[in-house]
Amino acid sequence: MLEVEGLVKTFEGRHGGVVAVDGVSFTVEEGRLFSLLGPSGCGKTTLLRCVAGLERPDAGRIAVDGVTLFSATGGRFVPANRRELGMVFQSYAIWPHLSVFGNVAFPLVSRPRRRRPPKREVSARVGRVLEAVQLAELAGRPATDLSGGQQQRLALARALVTEPRLLLLDEPLSSLDLQLREEMRLELKRLQRELRVTSVYVTHDQLEALALSNMIGVMRGGRLEQVGRPRDVYTRPASRFVAGFVGSSNLFEGVVEAGGGDGHAVVRTAHGTLRARSETVAPGAAVLVVVRPEHVVLELDADDGDEGWRGVVVTRAYLGSAVDHVVAVGDVEVRSRGPVRAGTIRPGTQVRLRFEPGACTVAEADDAR
């Protein structure tokens, strides 16, 4: 549906150029939501603006539905207002002098006369999207009399009313408070599923990306470091950067002892051995093993002489929906997250650590860039 190929965008500045987007390629399938996730300054907004037609890339190609919107070699650049895309930005501007209805109708009634739908159709379309974002009851209100979440939904309705081929969202929830963000996150997911509108969603919030996306592209320094389904990006990060950014994980350096034939490798670390999922790693290779805190199970040490990972609880924290422990194992600290019903363990207590089978993943150890 959306194809982005080898996209490059450089900004010239007084102190030399900044390569904001550095050779990015990805595709988004029809009806899917693709997130661009990465830290501040990694190039997410620039990439989205290139897709929107608000920036002219230096190289690469962008196509929607097989139609080329930009091609550096082909000398093609379709301007933003001809791309038929919907956009919602972090600082969405609603028109304060218009009602809720008026705001949503605006993109339709402001079209040139020959492309403007008749009044009845405008009403029907605005009605439909207001229904979808659950603002139908407030259609007659001045737009300024809405709460933050309602204004956000209004901005979304305004982007959807033109029935865009592709919806581009740049941190649309970041101006909302935490509770509202969570509500809107669920709301967005419901809407996107219901309307099946192909979307690209920019965020630096890993939870948002995990919760909303069909696919996530993790960006760093203008490049896509990993593209995958949320589950894969979370449980099988391709690099230390992805692991660190997408969740708070445990990372252990080690050396492969045996494996990867059956999809697993035995990795020896300074603290004990681990069985980790791995396809390609040869014995002797230096690797990084990633273990999510929720896959580390703590057991009160039976002291039965069994080999394995042992440590001492350093801190515990009750999080309402889970409990966290930090356990000192030699000179490293291991994070564990468990269900509340498992209870907490007092600091100073000796424990044994168990890693849930299949939950440890080998990431590349050598990803310094």
Ligand X SMILES: Nc1ncnc2c1ncn2[C@@H]1O[C@H](COP(=O)(O)OP(=O)(O)OP(=O)(O)O)[C@@H](O)[C@H]1O
| Sites of contact with ligand X (CB under 6 A) | 11, 13, 18, 20, 38, 40-46, 204
42 is in the binding site of which of ligand X, Mg ion, none (Cβ under 5 to 8 A by kind)? ligand X
17 is in the binding site of which of Mg ion, ligand X, none (Cβ under 5 to 8 A by kind)? none
Taking the complex as a whole, the smallest distance from the CB of residue 50 to ligand X amounts, in Å, to 10
Answer yes or no: are the C-beta atoms of 184 and 157 closer than 8 Å. Answer: no
Taking the complex as a whole, the smallest distance from the CB of residue 45 to Mg ion amounts, in Å, to 3
Alpha-carbon gap, residue 287 to 285, rounded angstroms: 6
20 is in the binding site of which of Mg ion, ligand X, none (Cβ under 5 to 8 A by kind)? ligand X
Residue of closest CB approach to ligand X: 45
Please classify residue 310 by burial: count the beta carbons closer than 10 Å to its beta carbon, then call 0-12 exposed, 13-18 middle and 19+ buried: middle
Alpha-carbon gap, residue 108 to 165, rounded angstroms: 15
Q: Which stretch binds Mg ion (CB under 5 A): 27-35, 41-49, 219-227, 340-348?
A: 41-49
Taking the complex as a whole, the smallest distance from the CB of residue 40 to ligand X amounts, in Å, to 3
Is position 45 an interface residue for Mg ion (rule: CB under 5 A)? Answer: yes
18 is in the binding site of which of ligand X, Mg ion, none (Cβ under 5 to 8 A by kind)? ligand X
Taking the complex as a whole, the smallest distance from the CB of residue 90 to Mg ion amounts, in Å, to 7
Two structure tokens written together for 17? 């150029």
DSSP 117: P
Q: Among residues 35 and 45, whose Cβ is nearest to Mg ion?
A: 45
Q: What residues contact residue 29 under an 8 Å CB cut-off, 6+ apart?
A: 1, 198, 214
Answer yes or no: are the C-beta atoms of 190 and 11 closer than 8 Å. Answer: no
- β-pairing, 59-64 vs 67-71, is antiparallel
Alpha-carbon gap, residue 71 to 11, rounded angstroms: 18
Taking the complex as a whole, the smallest distance from the CB of residue 67 to ligand X amounts, in Å, to 25
Taking the complex as a whole, the smallest distance from the CB of residue 34 to ligand X amounts, in Å, to 15
**Percentages helix, strand, coil for the chain, rounded to the nearest 5?**
30, 35, 35
Binding to Mg ion (CB under 5 A) within 77-116 occurs at none
Q: Among residues 217 and 260, whose Cβ is nearest to ligand X?
A: 217
Site for Mg ion, rule CB under 5 A: 45
